[in-house]
C-alpha cells in the first residue's frame, strides 16, 4: 500500500496533473453524472437540464485552463504539491456546481440547489480528475522507463561490440605470437634436449635431460591446445543486436485484450457511489456497491473459466464476457432497484447496464495498457541485466587476453622458454658442460623449473580462452 501511494503521489503531481487528454477523458463522465444529478432536482424539460450542465462544464474547463497555466505552470519541469493538485481538481467542481446553480436559479428562474450541486461536482471532479491523472501519469511513467531502458540497451550493445572488436584484435596478436614466436622455440627446445641425450653424458644427466624432453613435448601439446582454444573461442563468440521487443495487440477485435477484475471494481464502485449518493442517498450508494460486487464476481468467474479453457484474450471469449456483463447488470437493476428496494430515482435497466458495460471496458483498457507496459519493462530489465553480465565477462576476458598477449610477446612465457634454451645451449658447449658439473643438479632443476613455469602459463592461457 505504501508503494502504491508513493507511486500515486509521484505520477499525479507531474505533467499529467492537468492536461488536455486527461480533461477530455474526464469530461464525458463528469457531464453524464451532472445530468443524472439534474434529473433528480425536478428540472424539466431535458434541454433545460442540458443547458444547466453545459454552463457548469464550460466554466469548469475555463477554470482548469487558467489553473494549469498559473497554479500548475511548472508541473512539466518538477513535481507539484499534492495538496495543490487536489485543490485544483476539487475547486474545478466547485466552479462547475456554482455556475450551474447560478445559471439555473438567476437566469432560468429555477430553484436553487447550490449545496447539492457543489457537493456533487466537487466529489466527482476531485476523484475523477485524480483517477485520470493517475492513469495517464502511470502510462507516461512506464513509457519513459521503457525509453530509458531502450537507450541503455543501445549503449550496452555498443560497448559490448567495441570490447569484442578489441578482444578479437588482441586474440589475433596472441595467436600470431604463439605461432610465429613460441612454437619455433618449443621445437628448438625439443631438438636441443634430444641432441644432448645423444651426446655422451653421465647417467644422472641423461635422466635429467629425458625429463626435460618430456616437459618440452608436454609444452608443445599445451601450446597446440591453447591455440585451438583461442581460435574456437573467437569463432564461437558473437555479439548480436537485441531483437525488437514484440508488442502484443492491446485489442482483440473491438474489445480490450485483458478482462480486468480489480480495476473494474474500483471504477464501478466509485462510479456507483458518486452517482447514487446525490441521486438516491446512502441506500442508493449501497445498492450501487452491491451491484459492483455482483459484476466483479461475474468477471472473476469468467476469468477463471477463460484460464481453464485457455481462451483469455480471444475475440469470442471477450465478446461473450461483455454480453454477460451487460445482461447481469440489466437483471440486477431490474431485480434490486425496481423490485427489492424502493429507491426514489432508480435507473432504467438498459441505461445502468450500458454504464456498467463501458465502465468494465474502460477498466480493462487501462489494465491492458499498463500490463503491456509492465511486461515490456520486465523484458527490458532482464535483457539489460544479461548484457551487463556479458560486458563484465568480456572485460575480464579482455584483460586476460591482453595479459597473455604481453607475456607471449616480451613477458614471462617468452623469457622462461628463452632461458631454458639458453641453458641448454650452455650444456651443448663442452666447456660449459665441464663448468656446470660442479652444481649440475641445481642447474638442471632450475632449467626444469623454468620450463614448468612456461607450461603452467600456457595451460592457464588455455583455461582463460575456454572461459570466454
Task: Spell out the domain ranges in the chain.
Answer: 1-112, 138-468
Q: Give the number of other CB atoms < 10 A from CB of residue 252.
A: 19
pLDDT recorded at residue 136: 86
Decide: 273 and 289 in contact? Cβ < 8 Å: yes
- Average pLDDT on 202-222 reads 66
Query: Residue 68 is placed in which grid cell?
Result: 494549469
- Average pLDDT on 326-338 reads 87
DSSP assignments along 327-382, one per residue: HHHHHHIIIIIIII---SSPPPHHHHHHHHHHHHHHHHHHHHHHHHHHHHHHHHHH
Q: Model's pTM, two decimal places? A: 0.65
pLDDT reading at 144 higher than 90: no
pLDDT reading at 293 higher than 70: yes
pLDDT recorded at residue 1: 61
- Average pLDDT on 120-124 reads 88
Distance CA 181, CA 144 (A): 55
Cis before 443? omega within 30 = no
Q: Give the model's confidence band at 5: pLDDT under 50 very low, under 70 low, under 90 confident, else very high.
A: confident
Distances (CA, A) of 294 to 265, 325, 331, 394: 10, 10, 11, 58
Query: Residue 100 is placed in which grid cell?
Result: 450551474
Q: Can you name the residues that pair with 251 across neighbouring β-strands?
A: 256
Average per-residue pLDDT for the chain: 76
- pLDDT per position as a tens digit, 234-250: 544 444 544 445 556 67
The residue ranking higher by pLDDT, 233 or 235, is 233
Residues 63-94 as b or e (16 or more Cβ within 10 Å = b): bbeebbeebbeebeeebbeeeebbebbbbbbb
- pLDDT per position as a tens digit, 398-411: 665 666 565 554 45
Which of 178-192, 239-253, 295-309 shows the lowest per-residue confidence on average (mean pLDDT)? 239-253
- Average pLDDT on 197-211 reads 61
Which of 13-22, 318-327, 376-385, 427-436 shows the lowest per-residue confidence on average (mean pLDDT)? 427-436
- Overall residue count recorded for the chain in this entry: 468
pLDDT reading at 468 higher than 80: no
pLDDT reading at 73 higher than 50: yes
**Dihedral sign, Cα of residue 358, residue 356, residue 59, residue 25:** negative
- Residue entry with cell 502511470: 138
pLDDT recorded at residue 435: 46
Distance CA 19, CA 133 (A): 8
Decide: 234 and 171 in contact? Cβ < 8 Å: yes
The residue ranking higher by pLDDT, 319 or 238, is 319
Q: Give the model's confidence band at 97: pLDDT under 50 very low, under 70 low, under 90 confident, else very high.
A: very high
The residue ranking higher by pLDDT, 371 or 302, is 302
Q: Give the model's confidence band at 294: pLDDT under 50 very low, under 70 low, under 90 confident, else very high.
A: very high
Distance CA 298, CA 88 (A): 37
pLDDT recorded at residue 432: 45
Distances (CA, A) of 309 to 236, 289, 302, 304, 306: 44, 30, 10, 9, 5
The residue ranking higher by pLDDT, 14 or 434, is 14
Distance CA 20, CA 436 (A): 96
Query: Residue 370 is placed in which grid cell?
Result: 499498463
- pLDDT per position as a tens digit, 37-53: 888 887 778 888 889 99
Amino acid at each position: 500500500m505504501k508503494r502504491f501511494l508513493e507511486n500515486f503521489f509521484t505520477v499525479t503531481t507531474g505533467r499529467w496533473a492537468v492536461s488536455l487528454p486527461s480533461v477530455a477523458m474526464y469530461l464525458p463522465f463528469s457531464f453524464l453524472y451532472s445530468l443524472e444529478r439534474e434529473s433528480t432536482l425536478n428540472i424539466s424539460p431535458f434541454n433545460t437540464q442540458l443547458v444547466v450542465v453545459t454552463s457548469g462544464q464550460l466554466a469548469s474547463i475555463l477554470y482548469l485552463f487558467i489553473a494549469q497555466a498559473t497554479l500548475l505552470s511548472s508541473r512539466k519541469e518538477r513535481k507539484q504539491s499534492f495538496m495543490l493538485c487536489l485543490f485544483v481538481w476539487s475547486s474545478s467542481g466547485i466552479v462547475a456546481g456554482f455556475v450551474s446553480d447560478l445559471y439555473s436559479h438567476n437566469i432560468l428562474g429555477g430553484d436553487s440547489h447550490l449545496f447539492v450541486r457543489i457537493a456533487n461536482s466537487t466529489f466527482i471532479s476531485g476523484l475523477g480528475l485524480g483517477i485520470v491523472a493517475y492513469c495517464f501519469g502511470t502510462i507516461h511513467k512506464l513509457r519513459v522507463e521503457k525509453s530509458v531502458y531502450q537507450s541503455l540497451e543501445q549503449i550496452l550493445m555498443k560497448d559490448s561490440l567495441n570490447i569484442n572488436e578489441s578482444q578479437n584484435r588482441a586474440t589475433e596478436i596472441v595467436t600470431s605470437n604463439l605461432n610465429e614466436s613460441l612454437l619455433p622455440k618449443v621445437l628448438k627446445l625439443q631438438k636441443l634436449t634430444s641432441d644432448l641425450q645423444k651426446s655422451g653424458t653421465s647417467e644422472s644427466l641423461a635422466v635429467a635431460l629425458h625429463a626435460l624432453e618430456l616437459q618440452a613435448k608436454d609444452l608443445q601439446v599445451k601450446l597446440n591446445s591453447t591455440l585451438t582454444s583461442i581460435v574456437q573461442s573467437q569463432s564461437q563468440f558473437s555479439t548480436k543486436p537485441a531483437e525488437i521487443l514484440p508488442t502484443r495487440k492491446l485489442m482483440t477485435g473491438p474489445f480490450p485484450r485483458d478482462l480486468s477484475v480489480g480495476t473494474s471494481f474500483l471504477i464501478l464502485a466509485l462510479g456507483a457511489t458518486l452517482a447514487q449518493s446525490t441521486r438516491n442517498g446512502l441506500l442508493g450508494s449501497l445498492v450501487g456497491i452491491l451491484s459492483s460486487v455482483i459484476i466483479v464476481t461475474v468477471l472473476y468467474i469468467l476469468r477463471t473459466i477463460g484460464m481453464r479453457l485457455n481462451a483469455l484474450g480471444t475475440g469470442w471469449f471477450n465478446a461473450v464476457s461483455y454480453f454477460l456483463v451487460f445482461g447481469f447488470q440489466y437483471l440486477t437493476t431490474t431485480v434490486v432497484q425496481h423490485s427489492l428496494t424502493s429507491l426514489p430515482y432508480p435507473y432504467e435497466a438498459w441505461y445502468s447496464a450500458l454504464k456498467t458495460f463501458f465502465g468494465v471496458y474502460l477498466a480493462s483498457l487501462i489494465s491492458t495498457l499498463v500490463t503491456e507496459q509492465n511486461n515490456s519493462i520486465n523484458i527490458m530489465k532482464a535483457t539489460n541485466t544479461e548484457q551487463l553480465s556479458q560486458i563484465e565477462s568480456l572485460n575480464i576476458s579482455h584483460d586476460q587476453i591482453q595479459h597473455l598477449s604481453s607475456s607471449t610477446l616480451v613477458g614471462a612465457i617468452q623469457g622462461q622458454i628463452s632461458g631454458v634454451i639458453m641453458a641448454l645451449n650452455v650444456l651443448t658447449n663442452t666447456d660449459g658442460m665441464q663448468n656446470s658439473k660442479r652444481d649440475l643438479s641445481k642447474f638442471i632443476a632450475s632449467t626444469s623449473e623454468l620450463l614448468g613455469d612456461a607450461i603452467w602459463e600456457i595451460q592457464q592461457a588455455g583455461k582463460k580462452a575456454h572461459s570466454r
